[in-house]
Each structure stands twice: as structure tokens, then as C-alpha cells.
Amino acid sequence: MSTTRAHLDAASSEPLHPAARETLLAALDHGWADPRRLHHEGRRARLLLDNAREAVAESLDVRPDEVTFTASGTEAVHRGLLGLHRGRGTSGGGTPTLVHSAVEHSAVLHAARWTGDPVREVPVTRTGRVTGEALSGVVDEVLRPAGGPTGRVTVAAVQHANHEVGTVHDVAGLADLLGDVPLFVDACASTGRLPLPRGWAAAAASAHKWGGPAGVGLLLVRKGARWRNPFPADDRVDERGTGFENVPAALAAAAALQAVVAERDTLGPAQAALVDRVRAVAATVPDVEVVGDPVDRLPHLVTFSCLYVDGEALVTELDRRGFGVASGSACTASTLRPSHVLAAMGVLTHGNVRLSLARDTDPGQVEELLRVLPEVVATLRGRVGL
Amino acid sequence: MSPADLELDCREMLCPMPVIELARHVGDVAVGGTVAVVTRDAAARVDVPAWCRMRGHEYVGEDAADDGVPRHVVRRLA
């Protein structure tokens, strides 16, 4: 049994990167003032904020004026999706309609339904992939419905990578198919780990998922995109954001992003190889199904479901043995509903485990988990007489 | 409501118990026979068809029992 705990849930939150910690501590002393003020302290905070924006832009290969710091990834998703919807919502004929994939993060689902406008969902394959055919099919149905009024797609949302199963989308290819329909890309699961794809009109990311501090999101709005603020305006540094800027956290988030992008070429393949091993070994446990795309996937994340096993019991038993993992099973959710991602893919929702590797995950601890997994699964099945 | 050769009352069970009950009792009907799982468990809507796929049985579909509780019908193929 492991003597130290293994945090295998980096997709929920990656521990703070050392570069972020160092930057955060320094910036707390220098970035506290109001960056809109013209006094020395204000100008110093403004300089740090501008530095953070430039560092993020460089890391993601976007323009600095395309970057807005938000209070969370969720806020960035809301502003990105709803801002594109509002930018298109008032002009032209047809009922304004939002389209999103069936495997989007719940932030996208909730925001789309919050508008009160019609929402159409794009089905996915067994591996959680939105095909161009499926996306075009739903857009065509909105434009040319079999019955009822003609609609108009204001925005289509397709994530870069799925947060639960790791499947990565060909965002640029889907954007080409969409033509004039603006694409919103939730890049929260992939930012820092994979290069940002092209093709989005707006995108969102979340710093605590790449080793930055919590409470920092990124809203990216492509130069020239028709985006209108969906919420009350605020007279801050950045017209797309709201509230007093958390300058130290933004700078720390930027420092972490720079660091993980610099480490990506070595860390990514190492994590991908370890995940390949988890996929191979987990699949040998009787009645365990490894889900998500085996190749086009996030480097650090793997999900599998164990038939006849209670997800909550599995998480609890692994936790007792020192492994912190996530689950998409209904019994582990506050809503008691199974993961809508697993449901949309048509894969088993119970007995579900998601492992996601942090930058400092010890491969030996992953091997230890693989060693105990068959026994844990067999023990839990034994409790229900199987 | 379509007829079934065996109906399993899993109304008060939570996941994964309805699927476990199904696995325990699918052998109680002949090959080609049907088993209905009656349950309020929301996960069964996904997990019963997934179980059929993994186990090589046919998911016939969902209807409702007389009391309105969802009912998932499976045909034993092997």
C-alpha cells in the first residue's frame, strides 16, 4: 500500500505550479492597487496586469487584446458563449438558436438554457466525438426544419477536449464546416496541455486546471468576432470583464501557463505513455470498459467503468488506499444523475473512475493503483454477491 | 406496456443494483425471452443498454409500468 497519497484528479484541479507560487507571492506585494488609477501603485498594478495578458497571449499564440481575465473558467464560458449568442441574436430572420455538443461541460449546458432561446444538442459517437456530419446535420435542421418556424444558429459550442473522457476534437475542421456560424470552444480541459486550436470566435480556459490559482479564467474573443457583453457592463480595464481585477492571481496564472507550455513537449508524451499503460491494464480487468478516444485524447486523463461496481464505493475504497480519483457515476454526483457525458456516449455510467495525472504525479503510484485495482474491483463485486 | 417473460421490481434500488439484478436473472428466461427491469434509477436508462452491448443481449426499449415507473426491456440472446 502507498505510504503517501496520490492525487490522481488533476483534471479537477492541478496543484499550484511552483512558478505560479513564486509569482503570486511577489505580485501580492506589488499588484494590489487599482490598475485603473494613475498613481504610482495603480500604474504598477496595471503594468503587472498587462504583463499577464501578454504572457498568456504569447503562450496561446493569440493577440493580447483577445485575452480577458475572468473570475473563473465558468464565467469565461458564460461570457464567451452568451456574448456570441447576443452578438448574433438581434439581427436577421429566424428564431435565434444555440447549438452545442451533447458532451459539453455543464457550464455550457446551463448557460445555453438560461437564455430561454431554443437549444439543440449534437449527438456524439461512442468515443465521445462530435462528427462533422452530426454537427452539420443539426445546423441544417435548425435552418430547414421539417415543421415549425425556421431557426438561425447564433452560436455552436464544441469543446476542444472532453473533461471526463479526454476525447479531443478537430476544432479547426468543425469550424470550417460551420462557415459563418461562430464557434465557441470550451478549452478548459486542454489549455496548457495541448496547443490551442484555431477556428473559434470565442474560447474559455481555467487557470487552476493548468497549475495556476483558482479564481482565474480566460475569455478569448477573436479580433473581429461579433461578441456583445451579455451581462451588465463595468468600467474596468477590460470592457469584456467585470469587477476588480485580481492582478496577482492573473500574473500567477500567466506564469504557470508559460511554465506548462515550456514543459509540455516532455511532460505530455510521458503522461500519454502512462495513460496508455493504464488503458491497457484496466482493460484486462474483467468487465471493465475503458472509454474515450484511445488516440485523439488529452495526454493526462483516462476514464473507465467497472460493471456491477458502485462508483461511490470504488472512489471511497481507492481513497482509503491513498488514491484520490474522480467519478462520473450517479451516486457520486450531488444530483444523483449519471454523467451526461457518459450517457451521451452510451457507455456504462456506474463504477466509473477518472484518473488524471498532475505534472508531479509519481508513475510508481499509478503502477501501485493498477496493481490493486483488480483486487478492489473483485472485493466490491463480492460485497454484492457477484 | 410490452409483455415480458420476467419482470424485475427494482423500483427502490439505486445504481448499480438494477443492472446487478438483471445480470442475476437474465438466465431465468430462455434464449429469445425478455426481461423487464422496472426502476426509478436514472442511470439504468444508460446502463441497461450499455450492459446489453457488453453482454451481447438486445435492448428492446423503454416503456413504463402501470404505476408510471420506467421499465427497460431486454431480450436474452445468448
- B1 within a domain of the structure (yes/no): no
What is the per-residue pLDDT for A328? 86
- State the nearest Cα–Cα gap between B1 and chain A, in angstroms: 24
The candidate with the shortest Cα–Cα distance to A206, out of A224, A220, A195, is: A220
SS3 state of residue A53: helix
What is the per-residue pLDDT for A337? 84
The chain B residue lying nearest A328, using CA atoms, is B43
The identity of residue B47, as a single letter, is: D
Give the separation between CA A8 and CA A357, rounded to whole angstroms: 5
Q: What is the DSSP letter of A167?
A: B
What is the per-residue pLDDT for B15? 86
pLDDT above 50 for A166: yes
The beta strand positions in chain A, using DSSP E, are: 6-7, 67-70, 95-101, 119-122, 151-157, 183-186, 202-206, 217-221, 288-291, 301-306, 323-324, 352-356
With contacts defined as CB-CB under 8 Å, which chain B residues touch A346? Answer: 46, 49-50, 53
Contact B20 A343 (CB under 8 A): no
Interface residue A343 vs chain B (CB under 8 A)? yes
Contact B47 A337 (CB under 8 A): no
- B46 within a domain of the structure (yes/no): yes
Contact A343 B46 (CB under 8 A): yes
The candidate with the shortest Cα–Cα distance to A199, out of A222, A232, A166, is: A222
Task: Enter the C-alpha cell of residue A230.
Answer: 451579455
φ/ψ of A280, rounded to 5, equals -65, -45
What is the per-residue pLDDT for A3? 61
With contacts defined as CB-CB under 8 Å, which chain B residues touch A288? Answer: none
- State the nearest Cα–Cα gap between B32 and chain A, in angstroms: 23
The answer to whether residues A260 and A254 touch, using CB atoms and an 8 Å cutoff, is: no
Give the separation between CA A226 and CA A89, rounded to whole angstroms: 10
Mean pLDDT of A102-126: 97
Contact B47 A349 (CB under 8 A): yes
pLDDT above 50 for A1: no
With contacts defined as CB-CB under 8 Å, which chain A residues touch B49? Answer: 346
pLDDT above 80 for A173: yes
Q: What is the pLDDT of residues A288-331, one digit of tens each?
A: 999 999 999 999 999 999 999 999 999 999 999 999 999 988 77
Going across the sheet that includes A301-306, the strands are A288-291, A301-306, A352-356
Q: What is the pLDDT of residues A25-47, one digit of tens each?
A: 999 999 999 999 999 999 999 99
With contacts defined as CB-CB under 8 Å, which chain B residues touch A384? Answer: 17, 20
- Sign of the alpha-carbon dihedral angle for A109, A114, A116, A117: negative
Residues, chain B, total?
78
Interface residue A329 vs chain B (CB under 8 A)? yes
Contact A350 B49 (CB under 8 A): no
Query: Do the strands B34-38 and B70-75 form a parallel or antiparallel pair, or are they unpaired?
Result: antiparallel
- Option in A289, A309, A342 nearest B16 (CB): A309
Our answer to whether residue A306 is catalytic in this structure is no
Strand-pairing partners, residue A221, are A202
Number of domains in chain B: 1
- B43 within a domain of the structure (yes/no): yes
Confidence of residue B3 (pLDDT cuts 50, 70, 90): confident
Q: What is the pLDDT of residues A143-152, one digit of tens each?
A: 999 888 899 9
With contacts defined as CB-CB under 8 Å, which chain A residues touch B54? Answer: 287, 289, 307, 348
* Alpha-carbon Rg for chain A in angstroms: 22
- Option in B46, B49, B51 nearest A338 (CB): B46
Please tell me which residue in A26, A28, A214, A331 is annotated as part of the active site: A331
- Option in A287, A337, A348 nearest B47 (CB): A348
pLDDT above 70 for A334: no
* Alpha-carbon Rg for chain B in angstroms: 11
- Burial grade of A318 (CB within 10 A; 0-12, 13-18, 19 or more): buried
Task: Enter the C-alpha cell of residue A262.
Answer: 515550456
What is the end-to-end Cα distance of chain B in Å, rounded? 24
Contact A338 B14 (CB under 8 A): no
Task: CATH number of the domain at B50, please.
Answer: 3.30.110.40
Q: What is the DSSP letter of A64?
A: G
- B45 within a domain of the structure (yes/no): yes
Mean pLDDT of A111-135: 98
The answer to whether residues A380 and A314 touch, using CB atoms and an 8 Å cutoff, is: yes
What is the per-residue pLDDT for B52? 97
- Burial grade of A329 (CB within 10 A; 0-12, 13-18, 19 or more): buried
φ/ψ of A300, rounded to 5, equals -110, 5
The identity of residue A206, as a single letter, is: S
What is the per-residue pLDDT for A2? 44
Contact B15 A338 (CB under 8 A): yes
φ/ψ of A279, rounded to 5, equals -60, -45
The DSSP result for A224-250, as a single string, is T-----SS----SSSTT--SS--HHHH
With contacts defined as CB-CB under 8 Å, which chain B residues touch A337? Answer: 42-43
The answer to whether residues A198 and A326 touch, using CB atoms and an 8 Å cutoff, is: no
Confidence of residue A384 (pLDDT cuts 50, 70, 90): confident
Interface residue A338 vs chain B (CB under 8 A)? yes
* Structural domain of B53: 6-75
Going across the sheet that includes B34-38, the strands are B6-9, B34-38, B70-75, B58-64
Query: Do the strands A95-101 and A67-70 form a parallel or antiparallel pair, or are they unpaired?
Result: unpaired
Instruction: Write the CB contacts of B43 (distance below 8 Å, at least 6 apart in sequence).
Output: A329, A330, A337, A338, A349, A350, B15, B16
Give the separation between CA A57 and CA A221, rounded to whole angstroms: 12
Interface residue A350 vs chain B (CB under 8 A)? yes
- CA separation (Å) from A340 to A228, A255, A311, A345, B62? 30, 34, 15, 9, 18
DSSP H/E element including B18: helix B17-25
With contacts defined as CB-CB under 8 Å, which chain A residues touch B23? Answer: 308, 386
The candidate with the shortest Cα–Cα distance to A260, out of A190, A171, A177, A181, is: A190
Interface residue A193 vs chain B (CB under 8 A)? no
Contact A384 B17 (CB under 8 A): yes
- Pinpoint the alpha helices (H) of A125-206: 132-143, 171-178
Task: Enter the C-alpha cell of residue A317.
Answer: 475504497
Domains of chain A: 6-15+264-383 (3.90.1150.10), 19-259 (3.40.640.10)
SS3 state of residue A272: helix
- What ipTM did this prediction achieve? 0.95
